[in-house]
Amino acid sequence: MSRLLRGVVIFVAAAIPLVIFDVLREAHWQTDWWKVMLPDFGVVIAILEMLHSSEANELTWDANRLHEQSNLLRERNTELDEERNRLAGELNKVQLEVKGLQEERNNHLEQIAKHMQLPKTPAEKNATRLRKYIEEPVAGYNPDGSKWVTDTYLAEVTENDEVIFFMPAQIGSQACAIFADCGQVEITELA
């Protein structure tokens, strides 16, 4: 019940005895006034208790309704948790499958890369062998089979697979460098 209605009922219940107090006083002149008013206060208290009781009943109904909603929401939450767990399990399975497929793909890519590698050219093979002997003395021979007269050192092997031989200066001569393609060089390794 609304507060305004409750206030009106309280006011009316309290005002009735005051308005008719004179009538009651003459009727009960021999009796104390509080003894006359006591039954009226009992009625007011009964009315207030009745109003309070109906409000308490409404609040109890509201509480019960909210508990029912809470229980329904808990059940829905449990269902959603179960669904989330099921989906998480499926996700794990899919991730394992993806991981396996990625490993398989990587293995295939490695095999493709091995098959796609071009074989090393003779120049690359010679450059790899010559890099072990940088700054070492070498014996050089001309295409006609004649030997180089001066001491010769392997100075460098470039990224372009060119080899540079260095001949230091001798008496009456100048130092010089000879450039050759690693593919044109014949290598004979002596033990």
In this predicted structure, what is the pLDDT of residue 79? 95
- Average pLDDT on 79-85 reads 95
110: its two tokens: 């490695």
Listed by start position, the domains of the chain span: 3-86, 122-184
pLDDT digits (tens, 9 = 90+) for 138-189: 887 777 877 876 778 888 998 888 988 888 887 777 888 888 888 888 777 7
- Please, which pLDDT band fits residue 84 given cuts at 50, 70 and 90? very high
In this predicted structure, what is the pLDDT of residue 149? 67
Task: Give the C-alpha distances (Å, rounded to integers) separating 160 from 8, 123, 152.
Answer: 108, 9, 21
pLDDT digits (tens, 9 = 90+) for 38-60: 566 666 677 777 777 777 788 88
pLDDT of 118 over the 70 cut: yes
Classify 136 in phi/psi space as left (phi over 0), alpha (psi -120 to 50) or beta: beta
- Average pLDDT on 117-132 reads 85
83: its two tokens: 């669904």
The dihedral over CA atoms of 66, 68, 70, 72, expressed in degrees to the nearest 10, equals -140
- Please, which pLDDT band fits residue 75 given cuts at 50, 70 and 90? very high
- The number of angstroms, rounded, from the C-alpha of 128 to the middle of its chain's C-alpha atoms is 47
Strand 152-157's sheet: what is its strand order?
137-138, 152-157, 162-167, 176-181
What pTM, to 2 d.p., does this model score?
0.40
In this predicted structure, what is the pLDDT of residue 32? 58
